[in-house]
Structure 1
Amino acid sequence: MYIAQAYKGLHDSWRYLVGVVIIFFAWQFIGAIPLGGAVTIKMYLVKDLDKIPSDLSGIIELLGSNLFLFLMLLSFVVGLVAVLLTTKLLHKQSIVSLTTARNKIDWKRFWFIFILWGVVSSSFVLVDYFFYSPDDFELNFNLVPFLILCVIGILLIPLQTSFEEYFFRGYLMQGLGVLFQNKWAPLIITSIGFGVMHIFNPEVSKLGYIIMVYYIGTGLFLGILTLMDDGLELALGFHAANNLFTALLVTADWTAFQTHSILKDLSDPTEMVLMDILIPVFVVFPILLFVLSKKYNWTNWKEKLLGKVVSPNNTIDH
């Protein structure tokens, strides 16, 4: 059982509280130093006060989208390092047991869903572009900036998504599971927490709080993947594919990822509620869960999602 892997390390509640503080500080403060420094230097060099940015779009324009993306993703890399070091040093727990209940990390699971969701999500965009709403897109391709984007994206976006998975579906899921002694509470809390993490994204100000249905729904979907499959491998693969293929394929002026992608979405974002928010959460994700449940022979859903967390025999004393 995945959550019970926490018992293989030191799992006192105070350790998780201290760990969350350490991880948050590393992610939000230490990790933000490069971006903050670059913005400060650029602003100092700008002589025209009218060109000093007042919002995210202005900062991206000031630095350039590739440099901004690189520096922004660095904060998540620092956060990921903090999660892994906290697990090893504060909890004396192995990275394997933070990742999976299996004896070793199953990379076949990661690559299966990475390829599956990469193909499916890209197909949605391309079908829309070629057949349904070609006027909603413009070709945004520029070879050199795109190649730089590819390098940044391939190297850093999987680390960004891995931080979010290891922190929410890994560290917090296991810690809250030990605290509440059940599975449903950490599933709900981490899903809401994952959604709240995105509340300052520009998508929220543009679309309103309805977009939180997508963020929280995605967190719930990834949490179900983790609990049903007894590991993070599927969640890691899905999340990496989702963000990477999106960053490379399509961008918009109002999204968190404003990149030198192949296409630019010109559609009115207020009209996307049904197709881009509700259908993924209530149609696409359930279909994916069904497909994966057949492939990996998932059974006993009630116990795996709502059951109690039981300490195994190899618990390390506090």
Structure 2
Amino acid sequence: MITTVTLNAAIDKTYYLPRFPLGHVSRVNNLYAEPGGKGINVARVVHQLGCPVVATGFLGGSNGDWIRKGLDRQGLRHDFVSVEGESRLCLNMIDEATGVSTEVLEPGPVISAKEMSRLADTVYRLACRSSVVCFSGSLPRGVPDDYYAQLITLAKAAGALAFLDTSGSALRHAVDAAPYFIKPNEDEMAQLTGQAREAGAPWAAEDTQLDTLHEKGIELISVTLGAKGSHSSYGGKRYTALSPQVQPVNTVGCGDAYTAGMAVATLRKQPLEACLAYAAAAGSANALTARAGYVDPQDVEQLLGQVVVREEPH
């Protein structure tokens, strides 16, 4: 089983508008409202790819009730901790004329120490029954920067592999707990290691940053490069994965689908190169859908044959 953890869950609303000029009234052509937050997106894609999954995290207020009911409708198992306050709304406005996406993200509720303790107990309980636990997204208000590190330590103690996708100070603190897998982008890598890379420099020649993180005990690192794919490091080897070229409909959630694909392939005990290819295919499949955190399994299988994974000299 795979468990996903969403500390700052949301109702994700995606608006498709003919145009989205600032300072003017805009009318929506299409609207999608989904249970969201990065970990929930991961859980939904894992479910769509046919693997058992349960979602946990914090939920509060009427928005939290809406999220639970939405997960029930989608057939997603969940075990969230109820908190005071209201879970957030996250809005994504897509200008159909330009394809530009504009996001507006609410901060979410303030979490108490008691609520954090309850979630820690829940994560440990679920991790004892899981092979992989995915921690995804931002920290809500009230949660200390090292909270992911605490949860990762619990998941590892329960015998699960910890996957991490976050940013900023939460990421800097969490890497010290040595999750199995992280997927920073290039800017986040520079923040983690204090080593800025020259723009356009080939990763195979400039990836001593990865060695710094491996020394902390992190086994698998995928540096995501957007539409260009990813550069990964595992077992003393370096890999480049070139994603298929697709005409994107919506790029929000592609990173979550990548994480889900990696978790599913890892759960299925696929070799590393196959895991990288499956993750890239899942991420690209998300871009073909109008809603974040959705893939068509047939798209994933079709795109899988177009992913190029090569080992780089090191």
Indicate the TM-score class for this superposition, using the shorter chain for normalisation. under 0.3
Q: TM-score of the superposition, structure 1-length normalised?
A: 0.24
| Bigger proportion of residues as helix | 1
Per chain length, whose mean CA-contact separation is higher, i.e. which structure has more relative contact order (CA < 8 Å, sep 6+)? 1
Q: TM-score of the superposition, structure 2-length normalised?
A: 0.24
Larger Rg over CA atoms: 1
